[in-house]
Structures are given as structure tokens and as C-alpha cells.
Amino acid sequence: MSNKKAKRHFQNNIVNFQPQKKEVKILPRNRNQETYMLKLMDPQKDIVFGIGPAGTGKTLLAVQVAVKLFRSRVVDKIVVTRPAISVDEDLGFLPGTMEQKMAPWTMPIFDVFREYYTQYEIQNMINENIVEIAPLAYMRGRTFKNAFIVADEMQNATTSQMKMLLTRLGTKSQMAVTGDLRQSDRVSNNGLLDFIKQLERFPLTKHIDLIRFRQDDIERSNAVREVLQVYGD
């Protein structure tokens, strides 16, 4: 086989092994999940909180909606954030790039991304800043425009971090804030709990909504539901 033919044969094999883009089908499995999804998809709702126990689909649905809106060109980028270290989030001493430093905390989010993209595609999106990993400690002074922000595990944010996060939202951007107050590492100065209490004083907010999940909404497995019952959560 000539070099030219061999090259063409090699390229054809690469093309044949390229994964097809999986369609983003969001399938809520209970009423609360459906309400949560609809709020996340609502362009009038800039900030949507999903609060409740593990296994209720808070992060899964938020990332699925983010990918769907990105593919539909409603937003230009996806921003991923969450509290990394519960005390002060000082990542400076950790080796590696910011992506590598945050990897242990962002893994559940990127597990969902891998349902729709290969690792190579995800890495390219990160390199091109289409997907941005933004630790809370590095977000001060920034404004995110035309973006969908997934703020995960926010029960570990301080009050100042929560206020700083919620005020990063720019034009044509939306934010999903997830958390489980029962899994908080913070006994005091809990930013998520503080904002929920503040929000209760303004029940008619137009651009902010909050969905509370219950044990009945757990879809991970029956065993998870029983484990949480054993722990009294």
C-alpha cells in the first residue's frame, strides 16, 4: 500500500471511530424534577436553586440543561463552580493547573458531561474557555455574560461567597445553585442557608426561584433512600 493510500486508510479509520453527539434528552422522573427542569429552562428565571438530599437529580438536571442551552446557542459558555475547601478555598498550595486542582470537586459535574462529549472534546472546550472551571475564590470582580453557571454543593459556601457568586451574573446568563443543607460542613456562616432565609422575606421574586426536593424525589436507588433514612436525613 502506498503512503498516500495508507494515510487515507488511517484517516478513514479515525473518522469511523469518532463518537456521534448524543442528543440531550432531559427526562424528569418525578414532579419536582419536572418543575426544576422547567424553571431552569425558563429565560425569565435567572437564578434557580435546587435544594435537597443526594440522588434527587439536582446536579444532573442542571448540567443537562446547561449542555442543552449551549448546544441550542442560547448561551456561549458553561461555567462550573463549587466550594473546594470549606474553610478558605486556598488552592495555591496544590500542584497542577486550576483544572487539576479542582478535579476532585468537579468530577460529579463532568461525569454528566461525559454522557454527551468525549474526554478529548471536553478538554478542548476547557482549553478554548467554552467550559470554564472557576473556583469561588477566583470569581471576585468578574461578570459572566451569555453563560450558564452551575454552582454545585453550595451548602459549603460562606455568606460572603454566596453573595459574591450571585452578583456575578451578567446579561443573558442563568445560574443553577444546588446544595443539601444536611450535608453542610459549616455549622455557622452558611451562605446557602442565609440566602434561603433572606429569600423567604421576598416570596414574589420574579427572576429567582427555589425548588425543594424531598426523600420521595430520590431516584438514585432505593438503597440510597434507605441509607438516608437510617441517618435520619
- With a cut of 90, say whether residue 106 has pLDDT above it: no
What crossing angle do the helices spanning 159-166 and 191-199 adopt, rounded to 10°? 60
Q: Mean pLDDT for the chain?
A: 85
The confidence score (pLDDT) of residue 11 equals 44
According to the model, what pLDDT value does residue 132 have? 94
Residue 92 has pLDDT above 60, yes or no: no
pLDDT digits (tens, 9 = 90+) for 43-69: 999 999 999 999 999 999 999 999 999
Is residue 97's pLDDT more than 80? no
CA dist 182 and 215 (Å) reads 12
pLDDT tens by residue, 167-199: 999 999 999 999 999 988 887 889 999 999 999
Q: What is the pLDDT of residues 13-31, one digit of tens each?
A: 433 334 446 788 899 999 9
CA torsion 144→150→156→161, rounded to 10°? 10
The answer to whether the CB of 105 falls within 8 A of the CB of 59 is no
Domains and CATH numbers, the chain: 30-230 (3.40.50.300)
Strand stretches in the chain, DSSP E:
47-51, 77-81, 131-133, 147-151, 174-179, 208-212
**Number of H-type helices and E-type strands within the chain:** 8, 6
Q: Could you tell me the pTM of the whole model?
A: 0.84
State yes or no: pLDDT of 36 exceeds 90.
Answer: yes
Q: Are 121 and 50 in contact (CB under 8 A)?
A: no
Average pLDDT over residues 85-93: 47
Distance (Å, whole) CA 198 – CA 220: 31
φ, ψ at 179 (rounded to 5°): 180, 160
